[in-house]
Chains A and B, each alone.
Chain A
Amino acid sequence: MSTFVALTASGLAAGAIAALAAVGFLLTYKATGVVNFAQGDLITLGAYIAIWVTQKEGMFGLGALDLVPGYIVTVLIMFAIGMVLERLAYAPLRGRSIHVIVITTLGAALVLRAFIGLWQGTTPKFLDSPLRGEVVGIAGANISQQRVLIVVVTIVVVSATIALFAFTQFGRQLRATANDRDTAKLCGVPVNWLSMLAFGLSAALAGVAGILLAPLGSVDLTLGFNFMLLGFAAAVLGGFGSIGGVVVGGVAIGLVEHLFGGYVGRDFKAMYPFILMLLIIALRPQGLFTRGSVQRL
């Protein structure tokens, strides 16, 4: 029983990070039609920025920030980086073929990774957490509090994002833009600004994911890549539709990986989320939670 509880907790935490990545994917996709494969490297960048602002010298030698203020500053910096990324990397490509855009996002990912390598080096680093080394006992299993924090923060952040989408003019404008960009313009919706904000929010979510993920181990340049893949799988499961759908997709991915991988064919654990994704693509290409048809490219 305790193993089941421990693996469920692991699955939920991994699913939560995948869900944050997936919501990031969804935000940019909704606003601009771009599936941003740089999302994983934005997660990595978020972790490194958090290390940068909380390290002894602090950013630009201004001194270290305490952890929580440092995290907040990191998310703000990531928001700004997302906006700049939209202007520099994606806005010039608007209207171009989807293949060009996909390659560009992969290119942006490599550029980001190389930039981090030049800036922070390739030696693994560590981001501290206020909950480091703390565990909570649930049904005989010791669950690290960082993993509990990951799930709690994800619930809060995703709920806030859902509320933002559903109940604010920004959310309505974003959904309108996703639905029909030209008509949104005719309604006066500032679609370019909205695209920047969507990229900003998406990068901020990547920052949150990086901050939550980093204290579990050490941070290197590959930190976010795997979660980008898991997030993409979660978004596919959710049919790139509603936030709720991709979040459920993320949790399903995490649970399949850790529960299935914890009991059956352990050596193939990392494959299970993608087997699930391929099954969904084959059997229900529009995703688990989206109605309607799909467009084949």
Chain B
Amino acid sequence: MRLKRSVCALLAVGVAAGATAVGAGTAGAGGGGAPTVKIILLAETTGESPAAVPYYANGAQLAADELGSRVEYSRIAAPLTPAAAETALNQALDEDPDAIIGFPASSQTIAISQRIVDSGIPFFSLSSGEQLVKNGPNGGDNIFLIRPVDTNVATKEAEYVVDDLDAKRIGMLCVDNATGVNGCNAAREVFDAARGVEIVAERTNSTTATDLTEQARAMDGADAIIDFNFPNPIGVFAQQLIDNGIDVPHVDGASAGIAVASGAVTGDAAVNLRGVDDCVPTVSKSRKVRNWVSDYEGVSGGEPPIYSAAQAYDMVKLIAAAARQAESVAPRRLIRTIAGMTYNGICARYQSDDLNVLQHTADLTRWNAEGEIRVAKRFRFAPNELAGVVPETTIPPTTVAPAPPPS
């Protein structure tokens, strides 16, 4: 009799589960009661334009392959211009997606942010301009920033220069676009507020500079140099500092890793250099991350992943997890669920704050003379923290990065 009761109970659970699955079927037919979630990635991959990188497409595709029928994933090549971004967004909206991951350049997202907000569909921004936070001039309830806010990272770098390097005389180099302007603005605030710290030189350079002799020589006398730049100028600058006998720490952002990985920075120049990445999957000690790196290299033809590949992967997984948790793909339900959930990904532990920023850590990286990378320090950003150095009314134009966006 007891057995019969147990069988009846099991049957009841089965019937209930079946009924749930049928109910969820209106939103999709995924396994295990989770609805199928339709995700579109708006990013180019190698070959689609000279500036395109493969990381977003490879990372997202890897996640979609692993999730199988739980996601309906597709990618629309969105060229790195605001006008082309709008076309790509319209294309995506025509396909009635449940979530969109998109736009490596903040200029793309900022230009059409109102359209994104109006759509109400959860949008996961691959760039983290300060203007895009939830209450920012270009933000909205449905726009989530995957990465830590750029200017917060710049602030942490500057604090590292002052607190960890104990530098008193600082040289600054700022690439002549939003990356450099916003980064240097944030850093300057820190230096101005620090006691006994002096900016001995502040210079700019173009993204395509191949000679920074004047800038390097201007840094003579600095204890440390902070630099918001692109990979090519970093390579040139790091070497010219050494050529000119300026052998001091040189702190940069995500582009530093790209510059060193290219082979352009070695020896003393590499030892002096510091970079900041959202994460460095290739040096992780975690078995989960190491396995993921191996899987990624399997789909990328052996090219190792960087943070952006891990973040694209994580976002597809996070959205699928949110849909499962919400048992729905309705936009409001998804947004509410994502806002309240925590997700342990490959790159980071994602948890939305009031600004809709998901990631709150970044890694300070260093290299040896041979260019081998290591994580030297982890930056942690307090929830809802914002440098607030980008004036709302004067949004600087953001130049499209030829490589993964610098910090």
Contacts and interface: CB of A to CB of B under 8 A. Distances in A.
A121 interface: yes
B243 A144 contact: yes
B211 interface: yes
Given A118-B46, A266-B203, A266-B204, A10 B211 contact: yes
6 contacts: A122-B52, A123-B303, A218-B232, A222-B207, A266-B204, A267-B204
B262 interface: yes
B264 A261 contact: no
A114 B44 CA distance: 13
Given A124-B232, A220-B232, A267-B204, A261 B52 contact: no
A236 B321 CA distance: 60
B232 A217 contact: yes
A58 interface: no
A267 B245 CA distance: 24
B231 A220 contact: yes
A58 to B, nearest CB: 16
Contacts of B299: none
Nearest 9 CB-CB pairings of A with B: A126-B263, A218-B264, A217-B236, A218-B262, A217-B235, A124-B262, A118-B47, A218-B235, A262-B214
Nearest to B215: A266
A205 interface: no
Contacts of A226: 206, 208, 210
A258 interface: yes
B20 interface: no
Contacts of B159: none
Contacts of A243: none
A124 B214 contact: no
Contact of B402 (A128, A147, A222, A258): A222
Most buried by B among A114, A216, A261: A216
A274 interface: no
B180 to A, nearest CB: 11
Nearest to A55: B263
Given A126-B235, A142-B245, 16 more contacts: A3-B217, A6-B213, A6-B217, A113-B50, A114-B50, A118-B47, A123-B403, A124-B264, A216-B239, A217-B235, A218-B232, A218-B262, A222-B207, A223-B232, A258-B214, A269-B206
B263 A218 contact: yes
Most buried by B among A10, A113, A218, A266: A218
A121 B236 CA distance: 21
B300 to A, nearest CB: 10
Given A124-B232, A220-B232, A262-B214, A117 B239 contact: no
Interface of A: 3, 6-7, 9-10, 13-14, 110, 113-114, 116-118, 121-126, 128, 133, 135, 142, 144, 147, 213, 216-223, 225-226, 258, 261-262, 266-267, 269-270
Contacts of A135: 243
A134 to B, nearest CB: 9
Given A14-B211, A125-B262, A222-B402, A114 B47 contact: yes
B225 interface: no
B176 interface: yes
Given A124-B403, A216-B211, A222 B262 contact: no
Interface of B: 46-47, 49-54, 176, 203-204, 206-211, 213-214, 217, 231-233, 235-236, 239-240, 242-245, 258-259, 261-264, 267, 303, 402-403
Contacts of A144: 239-240, 243
B198 to A, nearest CB: 20
Contacts of B208: 222-223, 225-226
Given A122-B51, A122-B53, A222-B208, A266 B46 contact: no
Contact of B214 (A133, A216, A217, A266): A266
B259 to A, nearest CB: 6
Nearest to B51: A122
Contacts of B210: 14, 213, 216-217, 223, 226
Nearest to B204: A267
Contacts of B49: 114, 117
Most buried by A among B50, B264, B303: B50
A277 B123 CA distance: 46
A55 B367 CA distance: 22
A238 to B, nearest CB: 22
Contact of A122 (B235, B242, B403): B403
A133 B403 contact: no
A185 B213 CA distance: 50
Nearest to B238: A217
Contacts of B211: 10, 13-14, 147, 216, 258
A73 B236 CA distance: 26
A291 to B, nearest CB: 34
A128 B46 contact: no
B402 A121 contact: no
A122 B50 contact: yes
Nearest to A226: B208
Contacts of B51: 122, 221
A125 B232 CA distance: 9
Nearest to B237: A217
